[in-house]
A = this chain, B = another copy of it.
Amino acid sequence: MRRAARKRTTRQLEQVFKALEGDHTHPFAHEIYRRVHKRLPRISLATVYRNLHSLVDEGKIRTLLLDEQGARFDPETSQHDHFVCERCGRVVDLFLRQTRPVDLSSLAKQGYVVTTHSLTVHGLCQICAARRRTSRSQRPARKA
């Protein structure tokens, strides 16, 4: 599934990248489409997908597979990890490995060649954990 390298810069590509740049919410393709569509009302979702793929191929953004519903996109290209909140669904960047690197040395000894790794932590984010603490003794809410 190798795609031909992109050769031209277009407004569509620029806007797709800008819609993601500096964003920490790890949006799905459709949300990126929604954002770009405000500036380029004629853009199609297919073009958003094509440009997201180009950006991934060029290493400018990354794909995240965290939900059954589809791929998320992340402009943070440094090696990092993610926290997924079970309650609110938020995905938070973690930089654990900067202070607590995962020890994969045993794999090399077993004959594996390690390129990258990704760590995903599931649980309650700071906000949802605090909320639960506050409402500790209340009976389970219906539908919030």
Count of identical protomers in the assembly: 2
A6 / chain B contacts, CB cutoff of 8 Å = none
What interface size band does chain A fall in?
35 or more
Binds B, one of A8-16, A95-103, A135-143: A95-103
Q: Mark A90-114, 1 if CB is under 8 A from B, else 0.
A: 0000101001101110110011111
Provide the bound-state CA to CA distance between A116 and B122, in Å. Answer: 5
A68, A96, A123, A124 pick with most chain B CB within 10 angstroms: A123
Given contacts A86-B115, A112-B129, A117-B120, 6 further A-B contacts (CB under 8 A): A68-B71, A112-B126, A114-B122, A114-B123, A117-B119, A118-B122
Q: Mark A62-96, 1 if CB is under 8 A from B, else 0.
A: 01011110010000000000010010000000101
Q: Is there an interface contact between B107 and A114, defined as CB atoms closer than 8 Å? A: no
Q: Is there an interface contact between B130 and A112, defined as CB atoms closer than 8 Å? A: no
**A125: interface (CB < 8 Å):** yes
A86 / chain B contacts, CB cutoff of 8 Å = 115
